Amino acid sequence: MSYTDFVDKSHTPSNDELVALFYVEPVEGISLEEAAGRVASESSNGTWTEVVTMSDRIRKLSAKAYEFNGFWVKIAYPLELFELGSMPQVWSSIAGNIFGMKALKNLRLEDIYWPPDMVRSFPGPGKGIKGVREILKVEKRPILATVPKPKVGMTTEEHVKAAYEIWVGGVDLLKDDENLTSQSFNRFEERVKESLKMRDKAEKETGERKSYLVNVTAPFYEMKERAEMVADLGGEFIMIDILTTGWSSLQAMREVAEDLGLAIHAHRAFHAAFTRNRKHGVSMKVVAESARLVGVDTIHVGTVVGKLVSPLEEVTALADVLRKDKIDEDWERKVLPKNWMGKKQTLPVSSGGLHPGLVPDVLRILGTEIMIQAGGGVLGHPKGPREGAAAMRQALYAAMNGIPLEEYAKDHKELRAALEHWGYMKPV
Ligand code: CAP
Ligand code: MG
């Protein structure tokens, strides 16, 4: 089979085939069809030369590049190519060797149409947006979270003191940072035990539910033990750095979390190594869709206005693929059709350089079915974390009720101090 055998413009994929949308940019001297054929071949069952063991039966499993629109190419994959229920195998196929092909100058996996049998083969979120809101008894407004900063270095005692201030100031969730796990100055078990004791105190004082996104990131068996500790100590959430731990660990931890009744917060640290370049790598849409299928309850999607690259059309597309059940093809934002078949929703998390002055922007962009995380934007408040938390809550109230922040700040000193300190600046 030559590479162009993996191109068939007359092919109309069935509803049961997986379709991948790629941005394919060939090197000089290679045609787009040649390049697309190589991608379809290498990501299904072809290689660089004919093999005598190829047969008509095996040929039927070959992927087909069938639709071309500029550098955009759709490739259809027979479902039998995949092991249902295995996210590592899906990524090893359509996000595997192909990025290294010499014939390509650039290649980016932009989006996927997931066929019904593949969607059914994954559990989806255990709690979903409804379940997360039930845990916190927060019905309508965005859920607020804060990472105690400096992100790593505080002792357990310092961490827990900051946690108390954050919770009583008005933030719902304390969150570990992506690289805080169990360091010599802040051991995991001690941190969780002392933080949850402080959580109980903060709940009593505020009359509000409070919880903690505990980062269990570690080698799998250690993650399992840490999740068990969180459950034993009365926690409701675990946080996992899903890309540095990998799809296999996440699938196994989804089962562990189910057994323990814990919600999963997905941190996406490492994603920008391959999602940022619009011409090469894998889009954050594919990461978010894979994570929703495997079953995370919340995941970071960016802010548009904060310190980390997150373009508007990407952030809104992420929110749609995480919160909606069905989506028609949206060529503008390069979203292929979706049908999550009633799987629970995953809550988009907006985080990265946020502070009270940016809360109205985030709500304008993402609506209220979100979590907003502000670390520096709370711990950096001139009056301290409790006031920083209060300022976030006040900004949220004002934005939810259409009151200009300046107006509301007139008789809310914490918000006034935050606006005097940061105004509406967009950090870079
Ligand atoms: C934000 C954060 C988050 C980023 C992750 C940080 O802190 O804790 O990890 O939001 O990026 O370490 O930068 P600040 P994303 O609130 O102090 O900025 O949400 O885009 O995945
Ligand atoms: Mg962080």
Tell how far the Cα of 72 is from the centroid of ligand 2, in angstroms: 34
pLDDT at residue 323 is higher than 70? yes
Catalytic residue check, 149: yes
Tokens matching residue 332: 């503008």
Domain segments of the chain as ranges: 3-120, 128-422
What is the C-alpha to C-alpha distance for residues 62 and 249, in angstroms, rounded to an integer?
Answer: 29
Task: Give the pLDDT confidence score for residue 47 in this predicted structure.
Answer: 87
Q: What distances in angstroms separate CA 248 from CA 111, 242, 324, one per listed residue?
A: 21, 10, 25
Would you call 8 exposed, middle or buried from its count of C-beta atoms within 10 A (0-12, 13-18, 19+)?
middle
Q: Whose C-alpha lies nearest to ligand 1, atom 10?
A: 352
Residue 1 has pLDDT above 80, yes or no: no
CA 347 to centroid of ligand 1, rounded, Å: 16
Lowest mean per-residue pLDDT among 1-10, 107-116, 252-261, 277-286: 1-10
User: CATH topology of 3-120 equal to that of 128-422?
Assistant: no
> How far is the C-alpha of 399 from the C-alpha of 372, rounded, in Å?
13
pLDDT at residue 250 greater than cutoff 80: yes
**Selection from 393, 405, 413 nearest residue 170 by Cα:** 393
Please state the rounded mean pLDDT for residues 8-35: 97
Looking at residues 239-244, what average pLDDT do you find? 98
Q: If you classify domain 3-120 with CATH, what class do you get?
A: alpha beta
Query: Please, what is the average pLDDT of the chain?
Result: 97
- Condensed to tens digits (0 to 9), the pLDDT of residues 252-301 reads 999 999 999 999 999 999 999 999 999 999 999 999 999 999 999 999 99
The yes-or-no verdict on residue 423 having pLDDT over 80 is yes
**Residue 380 and residue 279: Cα distance in Å, rounded?**
36
Residues of the chain with pLDDT > 90, as a percent, come to 97
pLDDT at residue 2 tops 90 = no
Q: Among the atoms of ligand 1, which is closest to the Cα of residue 302?
A: 20
Dist. CA 274 → ligand 2 center (Å): 18
Confirm whether 267 is a catalytic residue: yes
Q: Where are the alpha helices (DSSP H) in 142-246?
A: 156-169, 188-206, 220-232, 242-245
Ligand 1 pocket by Cβ (under 6 Å): 147, 149, 151, 177-178, 268, 300, 302, 307-308, 351-354, 373-377
CA-closest candidate to residue 85, choices 138, 32, 123:
123
Ligand 2 mean position, distance from CA 334 (Å): 28
Sort residue 136 into left (φ over 0), alpha (ψ -120 to 50) or beta.
Answer: alpha
Given the residues 74, 127, 149, 344, select the one marked as catalytic. Answer: 149
pLDDT in tens, 178-217: 999 999 999 999 999 999 999 999 999 999 999 999 999 9
Q: Judge whether residue 110 has pLDDT over 80.
A: yes
Pull the structure tokens for residue 82.
């995949």
* Percent of the chain clearing pLDDT 70 (strictly above): 100
Instruction: Look up the pTM and report it.
Output: 0.98
What pLDDT shows up at residue 77?
A: 98
- pLDDT tens track for 354-391: 999 999 999 999 999 999 999 999 999 999 999 999 99
Report the run of H or E that residue 109 belongs to, with start and end: strand 104-113
Residue of 149, 346, 351 to mutate, ligand 1, most atoms within 8 A of C-beta: 351
Please answer whether residues 19 and 75 qualify as being in contact, where contact means their C-beta atoms are separated by less than 8 angstroms. Answer: yes
Domain 128-422 in this protein, CATH class = alpha beta
Q: Whose CA is nearest to atom 20 of ligand 1?
A: 302
Residue tagged active-site, from 64, 74, 127, 267: 267
Kindly tell me if the per-residue pLDDT of 344 is higher than 70: yes
